[in-house]
Structure 1
């Protein structure tokens, strides 16, 4: 059987590492990129900060409590984009089949590559070395025969990791892997699986396709396949961004206006950070999504005549959309905020509003 050779490159603590790179005084210290305010959110945390439990998407106030010596620095997305461009130049020296997932990670298909090297592992080593040489930053790499396994592998030995999953080792690897470490299985779903007695890939594989679809909907087929090390998705070098969003499902439903408004602002801030990380910097339509305790769902959208590239405007628009929504005695179990309708201002304006798919 002919297997593809896929590499997943993931920059280690990218934003925080970039700040430590440019400011030697931050090296070796716990650093958080993001705003230190009542509604601030950690965009990235250095490994020194992660030892205290500080994570990305965590409210800044909570991060400061976990790590009293935490140093907050404002994000500098132009600098991160500059470094990301240098990193991608390295990728394209080996293959044109590069699928960026964000500024700091990408898939590469090196089955056929520009240097004629048969070993994906050696290519991954070269890429890591060139990134360090040209940018001063550290990357981790995962190597395998499909995207799921390569992505999972890159997270196994951080920082500065290089982890390989060979076809003959895939079954044993997946069998031992805890479900919370499966790429594509989120925290809430992993908790549901554990409650159902599914702790590892081996447990997951025992479930039939029908059972998984019944339990988890259309995602059930994906879970069925990855428990068998199957992922037929190709590396897609030209992916057009249709929307960028963030959402959260709450452990307990929210009932108070002030609590919901606070979460709308926090999630909007996370969504805006993701928007700024992407190349899609010309979004015109902001959408919020609310799901009530009885699973009814509503969305509200607003389209601006100009591209939205100001965080305050982004959050204020999300708040304005929220005030149009009626509270419900069932409470709110999920909130999502996103942006879409990416176009240049000089392009003809569409009179219709777009809705955003989450």
Structure 2
């Protein structure tokens, strides 16, 4: 029986170029070719670039127009989120065979608590290989796996293992292994924080690990302890058993900018319909709504508010419209988005029965759900969408799910 040598063992599995890999799996003609997943509109952004596209300098979040200039031979494929969610379910099921403690970070990555399982799966290196093989068998797709004693180091390790690799970082080597990496690799160090650290003379993670606390506090304020611990390979957070959707959203980059309130509301209406349908399908209620608008000069404006628990599009739209007036003067806008947040599963359903209007609206939306299910999306449309139709070209809708801890 293999000896237990680490106090904790955490694996981080991360699919490689997930959306693009799914498209190449489903369409063999795309294999070996540079693939960009995202809206075909040049105004959209790249969601994922296949590894064949990356040598050209193309990456996620890059404007599609620029990506196509860098890689003119790339194939642009619109996203299929329902398909990605289906593959994600297979991924999480495969990981659950290794441990009851699986914490999903997104559709394509998760932590797995492997502590105490050496007698089942062998030492950490063997664990990583078995996890990678199980993912390949379950999904047909490659993944990279990092293993260490903490979540943070395991996540950095899986990134270092890409593509299609394994990286094992024993706890006694974690600080030295992290030391030469740039400060931008610290969990929570976004562009602003990373620049502040560099301005204070911290270029590498090892600089943080060796710095006097007073100097770090001067540069980072109350967050100094967090970054010092990470730099030294310390991360006490356990792997959570479950995670649930913290928000569901729908963003649309438009073919041309819009400034008129009626046009903006029309896009918000369609987003609310999509989100409401997904909430009902998953048995969730939203306690909040978030409005997202991106201006022509790429400034992202957001507002959010709490609402009574709902899965009805009309309630989501009403919440969004109540916040729109505070932002509309900043237009025109190139992106219109909406998200429902603070979700709960089913437990608040009876609260809807207290409001007759909500019940009627919800019943109507369920009728529309049933018709769409039988005859296809868009079979029934709102009257104002038809009678006041103003065609505004747009890229495909980018629906998304964000995750947060379930308690």
TM-score between both structures, scaled by the size of structure 1: 0.74
Which has the greater radius of gyration?
2
Structure 1 residue 230, shift from structure 2 partner? 0.6
RMSD across aligned positions (CA): 3.9
Give the Å deviation of 1:289. 7.6
**Is the 1:171–1:229 Cα contact (8 Å) retained in structure 2?**
yes
Query: Compared with structure 1, are the counterparts of its residues 324 and 211 closer, same or farther at alpha carbon in structure 2 (3 Å cutoff)?
Result: same
User: Could you tell me which of 230, 236, 247 is aligned with 2:234?
Assistant: 230
Matched, 1:286 2:297: no
Q: Deviations over 1:30-79 (max 9, x none)?
A: 11112122542322111112222222222322322222222111212222
User: Aligned ranges for residues 181-260 of structure 1 at < 5 Å?
Assistant: 181-243=185-247
Distance 1:31 1:218 in 2: 43
Cα distance between partner residues in 2 of 1:175 and 1:280: 44
- For residues 307 and 57 of structure 1, the distance between their equivalents in structure 2, rounded to whole angstroms, comes to 31
Corresponding residue SS for 1:287: strand
TM-superposition CA deviations, 1:315-354 (whole Å, max 9, x none): x9868834423769xxxxxx99753042459442499xxx
SS at structure 2 position matched to 1:87: helix
SS of match in other structure, 1:159: coil
Q: CA separation in 2, counterparts of 1:323 and 1:125?
A: 54
- Are residue 348 (structure 1) and residue 370 (structure 2) matched? no
Change (3 A) 1:319 1:197: farther
**Other-structure match for 2:48:** 44
| Alignment check: 8 A CA contact 1:91 1:108 kept | yes
> Which has the larger helix fraction?
2
Residue 254 of structure 1 corresponds to which residue in structure 2? none
Aligned match of 1:131: 135
Q: How do 1:50-89 residues align onto structure 2 when only pairs under 5 Å count?
A: 50-89=54-93
Residue aligning to 2:340 = 339
Partner Cα distance (1:320, 1:2) in 2? 54
Cα distance in structure 1, aligned partners of 2:222 and 2:243: 22
The 8 Å contact of residues 93 and 114 in structure 1, kept in 2 or not, is answered as no
How far did residue 171 of structure 1 move? 2.3
Q: Match of 1:116, SS?
A: helix
Unaligned 5+ runs, structure 1: 247-256, 291-296, 329-334, 352-357
Contact 2:290–2:340 (CA under 8 A) maintained in structure 1:
yes
